[in-house]
Amino acid sequence: MVNDFKNELKNILNEGIIKRNPVFVLAIALTPLLAVSDTIEKALGLGITVLFIMVLVNLMISIFKSKLSDEVLTIVTIAIIAFLVTIAEMIIQVRNIALYQDLGIYLPLTAVSGLILQRAITYSNRNNVIKSVVDGFAYGLGYLGALIVITIIRIIMSTGSITLLSVPMRLFDSVYAFDLADTAFGAFLIVGLILGIFKTFQQRGESK
């Protein structure tokens, strides 16, 4: 019984991070991603915010779901998300004003993220607290991971180098840099390419 529950939690993690990755598979919440994936700091700031909000929203909805009717579920969920996003904004503004200014309008846009709302309504409303928290963590981590991957690719393609953990690394000369990768359109092309790669591997896995 315990092993079955552990396997179920592993499957939830696998789905949120890989099989149904919110960016590379479901293509949800792309607008903020395209705008903030130009620096590691901004990507981490938005990604970690989404991760924590998803966990907290899923937790709260799973706890209070029995007291919510279907008619008010969406309204209450949006209100909870908006409240948590406001708290996150205040914390970031106090702790790191530069990051707060860099994220700009894309931080409050998290309040209307289809990813957070969709998981809360379709999953947390029908499952227990533990599964809901793991689901929120999995999809939040999947979004954060995708955001970091896209950011790293964009920086490398547009500059030929990247700095990770305070260690600068040059991979190729800047004269060969792909300047378009530094734009939102370039980010969109990168996302589309990775989406295609994910889809190809999924189809191969299903055909075996």
Distance CA 46, CA 100 (A): 10
Question: Into how many domains does the chain fold?
Answer: 1
Average pLDDT estimate for 86-104 = 91
Within a domain: 1: no
Within a domain: 14: no
Within a domain: 17: no
pTM of the model: 0.90
Within a domain: 20: no
Q: What average pLDDT does the chain have?
A: 86
* pLDDT tens digits, 60-89: 999 988 787 777 888 888 899 889 999 999
Domain that holds residue 94: 25-207
Within a domain: 98: yes
Within a domain: 19: no
Q: What pLDDT does residue 2 have?
A: 65
Instruction: Tell me the two tokens of residue 138.
Output: 């999995």
Within a domain: 182: yes
Within a domain: 124: yes
Q: Which residues contact 174 (CB under 8 A, 6 or more apart)?
A: 159, 160, 161
Distance CA 15, CA 19 (A): 5
